């Protein structure tokens, strides 16, 4: 174990500091497609009973009108976060009629590209901005790719922890600078080790054959309707997902916050020839917000993002530059189709220990070589992570995946123990043991279990997924929310609709001017 990690563990293990680790915050965003009883994409509008997708803070839509997104508050105990997610699911199911929430990350059999509905947010300027942004995504990447769903895990360390470490380590600079550089260090380590999460939690080894729309691919045919790779863990995170030539040259440097925000700011302000050729308008209608590499910074696809809560009208980059990094958003997690919410407490507890390890361990700057090794390790594991004897690259040397995974888990064990000590329990160490079992036996991984379940029931990917979706619907519908909690959600939905209506009634100014000002807000800080 590194000297730095030892010192930090000792400091946080002191009686006066131990309670700090109970103040980490956890938030979850879970995306899922609404589907019909036949397992086809629901073509119905976002159910009004769920409130306004624009202004409801807990239930919105992601890319498509059919792609729901459930958002929990950020809470200190992940058990409470998951309870909140459970309640949102139960409320949603009380309003879904005969529709289901699709259980895995990879989509159901989809209609023709043009028949996938884009999420609509009403007539306010901000609502129209969200809609045009999605039209731009359709133009740039196609609608099919945007129907992939995932789980985003938001995690922050307590604000009081940073000054404590900063003082102990004699960091020269502000508390805010230390906090941001520590989060960037976490992100660098995450880049190095996130392949492990793909092995442990990847749950998309197969997909519906129609998903590729006849494009050439390297997948194998499992049955007439299903494509797969025999040792894949997460095809969702493979290069099947986002094919973006525009973003190919854009690898924001994670060596400090300034270089990260600079590279994103440039991308939002730099024209990209094929997009310029299309233009922003067609037949007088907006088709994309601009013709730059990125329309907005959120268009950059990455496995983890540094984040800061934004003020009204503020852009993510502006918030980061003004006030530094507040938390990280882990974006590479598949939805586990065996779990009603797609994630459970064991996974969450392990993620906390893993992220704490990434935050507190040494994190040397990434060279070009270490950066490309991290990317190729990640891609190897998503495509063939369960292949016996699979080798990854570590410090320029080949290493057996299972050997490295075992070593990493051993290094994470003291972090799990420290979390347990602060919580007075053994739940984090048990969560770690459950992951060690998967390293020793790959048949315990979710990706292996998906293929095993499909084989056992002689099901296609779509049949398996629909069966799981129906089982989860039954789980949520069999126990409705208590009346008081149901009433709170109903009130939240009603007030969000009123809020949207008010925005639309009081809208001042023309949409084109609004978009211009929105673009200018990023250019103003790009000098």
DSSP state of 102: -
Instruction: State the pLDDT at residue 1.
Output: 77
Helices (H), 194-220: 195-201
pLDDT category of residue 21 using cuts at 50, 70 and 90:
very high
Residue 167 has pLDDT above 70, yes or no: yes
* pLDDT above 60 for 242: no
Q: What is the pLDDT of residue 243?
A: 55
Mean pLDDT of 245-255: 74
Give residue 247's pLDDT band: very low, low, confident or very high (50, 70, 90).
confident
Q: Write the pLDDT tens digit of every residue in 415-431.
A: 999 999 999 999 999 99
Tokens at 504, concatenated? 């639309």
- The CA distance from 388 to 392, in Å, is 12
The residue written with tokens 């310029």 in the block is 276
Q: How far apart are CA 259 and CA 166, in angstroms?
A: 22
55 has a pLDDT exceeding 70: yes
- Confidence band for 527, pLDDT divided at 50, 70 and 90: very low
Q: Is the CB of residue 301 less than 8 Å from the CB of residue 247?
A: yes
**DSSP H stretches of helix in 50-105:** 78-95
User: How much is the mean pLDDT over the chain?
Assistant: 95
In this structure, how many other beta carbons lie within 10 angstroms of the beta carbon of residue 189? 22
| Banded model confidence at residue 487, pLDDT cuts 50, 70, 90 | very high
Looking at residue 301, what is its pLDDT? 87
d(CA 372, CA 351): 24
16: left (phi over 0), alpha (psi -120 to 50) or beta: alpha
- 259 contacts 187 by C-beta, under 8 angstroms: no
As a whole-number percent, the residues of the chain with pLDDT over 70 amount to: 97
Report percent pLDDT > 90 for the chain: 89
From 112, 3, 92, 80, select the one nearest 48 (Cα to Cα). 92
Q: What is the 3-state secondary structure (H, E, C) of 315-338?
A: CHHHHHHHHCCCEEEEEEECCCCC
What is the reported pLDDT for 343?
Answer: 98
**Closest of 150, 116, 151 to residue 134, by C-alpha:** 116
pLDDT at position 239, please?
83
Domain definitions of the chain by residue range: 20-523
pLDDT of residue 254: 81
Are 103 and 465 within 8 A, CB to CB?
yes
Classify domain 20-523 by CATH architecture. Answer: 2-Layer Sandwich (3.30)
Q: Looking at the predicted structure, is the pLDDT value of residue 383 above 70?
A: yes
- Measured CA to CA in angstroms, residue 191 lies from 237, 270, 303, 305, 330 at distances of 14, 26, 8, 11, 11
Specify whether the CB–CB gap between 135 and 287 falls below 8 A. yes
The CA dihedral of 40, 27, 8, 407, to the nearest 10 degrees, is -20
The pLDDT confidence band at residue 459, using thresholds 50, 70 and 90, is very high
pLDDT higher than threshold 80 for residue 246:
no
């Amino acid at each position: 174990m590194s000297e730095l990690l030892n010192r930090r563990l000792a400091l946080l293990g002191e009686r006066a500091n131990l309670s700090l680790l109970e103040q980490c915050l956890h938030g979850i965003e879970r995306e899922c497609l609404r589907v019909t009883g036949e397992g086809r994409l629901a073509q119905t509008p976002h159910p009004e009973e769920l409130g306004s997708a624009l202004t409801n803070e807990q239930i919105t839509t992601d890319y498509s009108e059919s792609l729901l997104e459930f958002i929990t508050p950020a809470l200190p105990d992940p058990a409470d976060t998951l309870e909140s997610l459970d309640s949102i699911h139960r409320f949603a199911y009380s309003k879904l009629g005969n529709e289901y929430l699709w259980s895995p990350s990879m989509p159901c059999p989809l209609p023709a590209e043009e028949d996938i509905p884009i999420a609509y947010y009403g007539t306010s300027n901000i609502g129209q901005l969200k809609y045009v942004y999605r039209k731009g995504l359709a133009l740039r990447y196609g609608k099919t790719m945007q129907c992939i769903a995932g789980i985003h895990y938001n995690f922050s360390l307590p604000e009081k922890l940073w000054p404590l470490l900063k003082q102990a380590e004699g960091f020269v600079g502000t508390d805010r600078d230390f906090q941001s550089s520590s989060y960037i260090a976490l992100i660098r380590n995450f880049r190095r080790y996130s392949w492990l999460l793909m092995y442990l939690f990847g749950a998309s080894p197969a997909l519906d054959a129609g998903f590729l729309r006849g494009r050439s691919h390297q997948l194998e045919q499992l049955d007439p309707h299903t494509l797969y790779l025999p040792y894949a863990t997460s095809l969702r995170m493979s290069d099947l997902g986002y094919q973006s030539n525009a973003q190919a040259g854009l690898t924001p440097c994670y060596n400090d916050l300034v270089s990260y925000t600079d590279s994103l700011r440039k991308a939002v302000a730099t024209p990209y020839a094929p997009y310029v050729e299309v233009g922003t308008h067609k037949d007088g209608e907006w088709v994309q917000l601009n013709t730059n590499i990125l329309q907005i910074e959120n268009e950059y696809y990455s496995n983890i993002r540094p984040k800061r809560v934004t003020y009204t009208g503020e852009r993510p980059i502006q918030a980061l530059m003004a006030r530094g990094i507040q938390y990280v958003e882990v974006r590479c997690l598949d939805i586990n189709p065996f779990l009603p919410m797609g994630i459970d407490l064991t996974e969450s507890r392990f993620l906390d220990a893993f992220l704490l390890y990434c935050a507190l361990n040494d994190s040397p700057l990434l060279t070009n070589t270490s950066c490309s090794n991290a990317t190729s390790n990640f891609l190897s594991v998503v495509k063939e992570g369960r292949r016996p004897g699979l080798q990854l690259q570590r410090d320029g040397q080949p290493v057996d995946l299972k050997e490295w995974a075992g070593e990493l888990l051993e290094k994470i064990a003291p972090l799990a123990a420290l979390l347990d000590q602060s919580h007075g329990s053994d739940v984090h160490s048990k969560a770690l043991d459950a992951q060690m079992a998967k390293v020793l036996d790959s048949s315990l991984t979710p990706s292996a279990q998906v293929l095993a379940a499909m084989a056992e029931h002689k099901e296609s990917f779509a049949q398996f997924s629909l069966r799981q979706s129906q089982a989860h619907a039954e789980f949520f519908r069999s126990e409705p929310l208590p009346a008081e909690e149901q009433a709170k959600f109903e009130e939240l939905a009603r007030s969000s609709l009123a809020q949207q209506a008010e925005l639309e009634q009081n809208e001042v100014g023309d949409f084109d001017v609004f978009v211009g000002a929105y673009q200018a807000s990023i250019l103003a800080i790009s000098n």
